[in-house]
A = this chain, B = another copy of it.
Amino acid sequence: MTGRPTLTQRRRESTRLEIAQAAAELFAARGAEATTAEEIANASGISLRTFYRYFSEKEDAVAPLLAAGGERWVRLFAESASDLPVREALERSAAESLSPLDERDGEAMRWTRELLRDPRLASVWQRVHADSEERLRAAIADRCPPGTDALEIRLAAAAATAAIRVALEQWAVSGAPATGPGSPRELGARCVHELTGGLGLWDHVD
């Protein structure tokens, strides 16, 4: 197993999250457009130059918040019992990763809803899911025998990632709370389930 990250690395990750927090508050308040990178840096107690050592673009600053759920999802999927079919494992880990047990997770989820309203942050949202899709692809490949068709693995990763993305986008525009009916957990599980099970809509004739 990989050893515990060194102190320096943990400090760096902590700083990264502090910046993300500050950026999210500013973006939510004034919008990403009207927020300068320097303001984010000041609010984080670092210099502008240092900010760009943590994030390559201004908008990227909130990526850690938007990506947290997806990373947890892939990790849970990779650790899930191997006697489960892929679809079952995906559905269960999705539901679990979308259940904010930790307070930090719930916070990230609420920020997601807030940040998704800003069209300027759409590209970060897309990029986060592209990364998530790639990680999921690797995780699915690990679960399958070596000879498995690479194209099918890619398709599976893309479809599952799209399901989660659609679920979160739907939750964001709806007024539903973070738990209970209409919650990300419910929507996410339903989306993964329906998409992997085959949509009834496919057979629809006008």
* A187 and chain B: residue at smallest CB distance: B151
Contacts of A122 in B (CB 8 A): 127, 130
Contacts of A163 in B (CB 8 A): 155, 158-159
Contact A165 B158 (CB under 8 A): yes
Interface class of chain A by DSSP: helix
Complex: A195 Cα to B123 Cα, angstroms: 25
* A158 and chain B: residue at smallest CB distance: B162
Contact B196 A144 (CB under 8 A): no
| A75 within 8 Å of B (CB atoms) | no
Interface string of A183-206 (1 = CB under 8 A from B): 000010011001111111111111
Contact B196 A170 (CB under 8 A): no
Selected from B126, B156, B166, B169, the residue in CB contact (under 8 A) with A202 is B156
Contact A201 B86 (CB under 8 A): yes
- 17 new A-B pairs (CB below 8 Å) besides A86-B203, A140-B201, A144-B204? A82-B205, A83-B206, A84-B205, A86-B205, A122-B127, A126-B126, A151-B191, A152-B201, A153-B201, A155-B162, A158-B162, A158-B165, A159-B159, A159-B162, A159-B195, A159-B199, A196-B198
